Structure 1
Amino acid sequence: MPTLHPPALVAQYRATGAWTDDTVDSLFRARVAETPDRIAVVDPPNKPALTGGEPQRWTWRELDAAVDRLAAALVTRGVGHQDVVAVQLPNSVDLVQAVLAVSRIGAVLTPFPVQFRERELAHMCQVTEATVFITCQQVNNRPLAEVASQISAQVPSLRRVLVLRGDGPAGPSAPSRQQLQQYLAGLRTDPNDCFSICWTSGTEAPPKGVPRSHYDWMAIARVCRESARLTADDIVLSPFPMVNMAGFGGLMLPWLMSGCTLVQHHPFELEIFLDQLQSERATYTIIAPALMARLMDSEETLRNTDLSSLRLIGSGSAPLTAETVAAWEKETGAGVVNFFGSNEGTCLVSTPEQIPDPYERSVRFPRSGVAGTSLDGSMELRLRDRDTGEILSAPGAEGELELRGPTLFAHYLAGTSESYIDADGWFRTGDLFRIEGEHGQYLAYVDRVKDIIIRGGINIAPAELEAMLAAHPSVADVAVIGVHDDEMGERTCAVVVPTPGTTPTLKDLVDFLRRKKISSYKLPERLRIVDSLPRLPSGKLLKRQLQVQPESARA
């Protein structure tokens, strides 16, 4: 895979200092050299039930040895510079080991959520031409290694499946170490090399591949680290899967930049999460707004949980409410950082220092380009009227957010989506914002232009489900929408016009989709039966009209 960004752009951002020589592996090596015997990464306590291995606590030195062992295993199996390595592991020391090993040899990481199943995995491995698949034997009794082996038989490029067994941080054998050292001696990693291909669901299906270089990942991580004010003394609790923006840009790379301790959590279980906050004395974490609201509603939980170590939390994946932010800060004393991000590089941040008032901070972000409002002055933002194409600047104006800057990705993976970046480098985000503040110094989120459903922080593309449900014999017409849910943020609702003489049930539709082997988190959890769907004469569906109607059936 060629380097991602054009030379002129590299020269521009290197000149401003937004892009540097840092790579993921160079950051890691610097941390190992600084504090080799300090605890670097900690497993979730439920790892025995999750994957069967024992929980580990690795120092930077031990993590380095484990990374070398896996890197040597990859090299001896023929994996080299810019080869694509697929990884499907839960948040654990093993996942950190895999990410860093792939980076060490200059290969390309494509990480998958553990919820992904055969349909998604086979497609993504095929599109990326992945050469090796790293996984574990099982997660919660789901046979990940067996599924990976089945996929390798379908994808010609997949040569190997490596199963991590949690057998400790010992380094490679002498012959393997020698081969690795010879390989590394000839390796030249460019910060403009592709480091990862993450996946994002848009309004179209299948998912879009988002290649990212070290350059743009580091720009994102720098903003997130500065927002959280992370130092080597911090303890970061990571409940977001390390597969996309929140996991990498918000947590893992800021951990590498600061040299603090990373405590892994997976899958999300509130009781375990709160126990980790207390027992590990976590100082920073990122949680979904729905969880923050849930904790504020539970006086008993707050009363019985020691949150005194927390100094800041980040929140994103869905809009915050002013009441929740204000209540959280009053009850816990921990400030809230409001994030709005995407795999493509949208990186809006609102911190207590920038906007002290929690009510304003819950809905407003500094508008980059207006003096004194941006953490990263090199990021450019603008709003465009979707009807007229006019660039908006007056307070009160609403338009689609466009951006360009050092956090922005270069392009989608070939064959996965059309480009949304114009000739001048502006990316159309598909998100509606409003300009606010006396001097137009803030942006306030309004709504999504796209139809993405965000369930528990994971994106679901309605179009993918609509296309499959349309093939059900009892479905004459269908729309898939998100409905508000206090726990998950949104849940998926299928709005169905039945074929004459039929009465489809939620179970019918779910069973039909299960036979197509899609991930369970995408399955509809609500069903609404209607006589017709609201459409324009052109046939375009008016989904906003569906949002105001209550669903008629639940899972």
Structure 2
Amino acid sequence: MTTHADTTALSGEPDWYAQGSWRSEPLWTSFVSAARGPGAAATVRDGDQVLTLPELLVRAQRIAGGLVAAGVRPGAAVIVQSRNSIDAFAALLACYSQGFVSIPLPPMFSPAQVGAVAESAAAEALILLEDNAGATISHVLDKLRTVKAAFAVDAGDANGRDKVRPWASCLASAPLPANPPSPDADAIVLYSSGSTGAPKGVVHSGNSLRFAAEALASFHRVGPSDRVLVALEFGFVGGTVLGAMLAFLAGASTVLMRKWDVETCLSVIERERITYTLLMPTHCYDVLIRDDLESFDLSSLSRAILAGASSEQRRKAASVFCGVPLPMYGMSESMGHCTCAPGDADSGLFGSDGRTLPGTEMRVLDEHGRPVAPGEVGNVFLRGPNRLRRYQARPDLTARAIDPEGWFATGDRGRLDEGGFLTFVARASEMIRRGGIMIQPAEIELALGTHPAIAELSVVGVPDDRLGERVCACARLKPGQALDLEEIRAHLQRAGLPRYQWPELLLLFEAFPRTPSLKVRRADLAAEARSRLMATKD
């Protein structure tokens, strides 16, 4: 895997070094500086296990020693699949100490998905910290020769035993002195939740990762006196970069939640005196529907990012959950780009999705590339030192998404007010956002379209109070055929599609709405699906 962070020639992009947004010191050096300075007394808690930040870095160097002993080379990709844990984040830090490229993956990724990621990145090592990793190891080692070692807590009866090593052996390695790369080298690749095809890898350098974490920490005033709860799933930008990495660089203490549970979350906030966290819409829903919040002492939670929460949810959160509920608009490609500062006016905190982080830019344009007037809806473009450097192994996608001046086309629609606050309006793409996870309908349609009863299929998102959207399969059947949701799920299980992508609703149609060229009008179909589902509720 190349270590050059940017494969595009962006003649008009600002000089982030000249602006002071990027620095020449390696990313690893910044973690060391935090641990030796403001974070010297900071701790990282994972259940009953607690390390200081300096101890976490020593563990990272032990893991680096194990990886180098296995033959992993600087610039090589290292996949880490886990729930939130001390070892998982120490493994990512180990990558930054030696110039490996970290690829954090959530536990929900199937063996086929992990295999597609490993192949795309030509990974040289797997670190699998969940139980029953044998199927994943076998799938990857059977198809990929670049892997030199697979470290696992539980390898089961995996194939390729000569490359399988117990995770404990890595932790027992002697600490390896750091040899970090340039901060412009690839540091992390955040992968979308694709299925058996090649998932989309978002490549960030040490500098773009560091800027995003440090800029957000500064904007939200996170420092050594804070205790940060990481409640989001490992492998996604919110928990990995804007949660744990932010806390480490800010010298704050960190508490890791391995799995979301609202009762656990509230208890941890109370017991650990959490001061800052980031939650997605699903988490907000789970918290705010409870009628016993007054039984928990949540007074320490001075501010919380409630990404994607509605204005009404943020107002309620301000009265029953946290001191200042902060909006956020961003994505893996442009991490934490828009939010509010704790001192912003209520019109921004409750009536928008935020303003740009200092040092970043945003513009909203019409279909001809011209700025729209304040309050008018247009296409959202972002630029900044927190932007992705490229898509992994997809120069075509990179060229379409980033123009020569460094502007990233989000594919979203929004409007800006006169104060520069953004309101997100709609996604221009067909992606379904379920509980903060982006789901591509085409992947489900490809897997489900082979079912013998289905004549035609279209998958759409329908609104849901808790998850934001649910996945609804809209099908036309062949004559004389029958189909139910359980059969759909069984078919997708046989096809190897991960469970989180399975439709939760099925609607049968005699005909689909179409354009004059006979293409399915997805927006009209989704509207009809919503109407039918609402009618069943009545």
TM-score over 0.5 for the alignment? yes
Cα separation, partners in 2 of 1:405 and 1:546, compared to 1, 3 Å? same
Q: Is the partner of 1:85 in helix, strand or coil? A: strand
Cα separation, partners in 2 of 1:390 and 1:136, compared to 1, 3 Å? closer
| Residue equivalent to 2:30 | 27
Distance 1:422 1:11 in 2: 13
1:32 Cα offset (Å): 2.9
Unaligned runs of 5+ in 2: 155-165
| Structure 1 residue 481 corresponds to structure 2 residue 460 | yes
1:312 Cα offset (Å): 0.4
Cα separation, partners in 2 of 1:394 and 1:79, compared to 1, 3 Å? same
Cα separation, partners in 2 of 1:157 and 1:203, compared to 1, 3 Å? closer
| Residue equivalent to 2:315 | 326
1:203 Cα offset (Å): 12
Distance 1:171 1:297 in 2: 42
1:201 Cα offset (Å): 5.1
Q: Is the partner of 1:467 in helix, strand or coil? A: helix
| Structure 1 residue 364 corresponds to structure 2 residue 356 | no
| Residue equivalent to 1:153 | 142
| Residue equivalent to 2:220 | 228
| Structure 1 residue 375 corresponds to structure 2 residue 376 | no
- 2:191 alignment partner, one of 171, 193, 199: 199
| Residue equivalent to 1:56 | 49
For this pair of structures, how many residues does the alignment match?
Answer: 517
| Residue equivalent to 1:304 | 295
- 1:342 alignment partner, one of 309, 331, 348: 331
- 1:425 alignment partner, one of 386, 398, 406: 406
Q: Which amino acid aligns with 2:318?
A: E
8 A contact 1:135–1:145 mirrored in 2: no
Distance 1:265 1:110 in 2: 20
| Residue equivalent to 1:292 | 284
Identity %: 26
| Residue equivalent to 1:93 | 86
Give the TM-score, by structure 2 length: 0.89
Distance 2:169 2:299 in 1: 33
Q: Which amino acid aligns with 1:280?
A: E
Q: Which amino acid aligns with 1:448?
A: R
Unaligned runs of 5+ in 1: 46-54, 368-373
Distance 1:198 1:167 in 2: 23
Give the TM-score, by structure 1 length: 0.86
Distance 1:401 1:7 in 2: 19
Distance 1:276 1:405 in 2: 35
Cα separation, partners in 2 of 1:350 and 1:10, compared to 1, 3 Å? closer
Cα separation, partners in 2 of 1:360 and 1:542, compared to 1, 3 Å? farther
| Residue equivalent to 1:162 | 151
Q: Is the partner of 2:145 in helix, strand or coil? A: coil
Bigger Cα displacement from structure 2, 306-315 vs 143-152: 143-152
| Structure 1 residue 130 corresponds to structure 2 residue 123 | yes
Bigger Cα displacement from structure 2, 456-465 vs 3-12: 3-12
Which residues of 2 match residues 492-503 of structure 1 at below 5 A?
A: 492-503=471-482
Cα separation, partners in 2 of 1:245 and 1:259, compared to 1, 3 Å? same
Q: Is the partner of 2:16 in helix, strand or coil? A: helix
Q: Which amino acid aligns with 1:102?
A: C
Cα separation, partners in 2 of 1:153 and 1:306, compared to 1, 3 Å? same
Distance 1:80 1:94 in 2: 21
1:89 Cα offset (Å): 0.8
1:350 Cα offset (Å): 3.1
Aligned-CA RMSD value: 2.7
Q: Is the partner of 1:192 in helix, strand or coil? A: coil
Cα offsets for 1:498-555 (capped at 9, x unmatched): 112111111111111111222111111111111122221234432222333345699x
1:163 Cα offset (Å): 1.7
Distance 1:196 1:19 in 2: 16
Distance 1:493 1:350 in 2: 31
- 1:76 alignment partner, one of 59, 66, 69: 69
| Residue equivalent to 2:5 | 4
Distance 1:245 1:517 in 2: 25
Cα separation, partners in 2 of 1:258 and 1:466, compared to 1, 3 Å? same
Q: Which amino acid aligns with 1:112?
A: L
Bigger Cα displacement from structure 2, 237-246 vs 541-550: 541-550
Cα offsets for 1:359-410 (capped at 9, x unmatched): 643342455xxxxxx431x322222223xx1312312321111122211112
Q: Is the partner of 2:299 in helix, strand or coil? A: coil
Bigger Cα displacement from structure 2, 303-312 vs 162-171: 162-171
Which residues of 2 match residues 246-265 of structure 1 at below 5 A?
A: 246-265=238-257
Cα separation, partners in 2 of 1:539 and 1:263, compared to 1, 3 Å? farther
Cα offsets for 1:313-352 (capped at 9, x unmatched): 0011x3x222221121123451011111111115433325
8 A contact 2:204–2:389 mirrored in 1: yes
Bigger Cα displacement from structure 2, 57-66 vs 441-450: 57-66
1:204 Cα offset (Å): 12
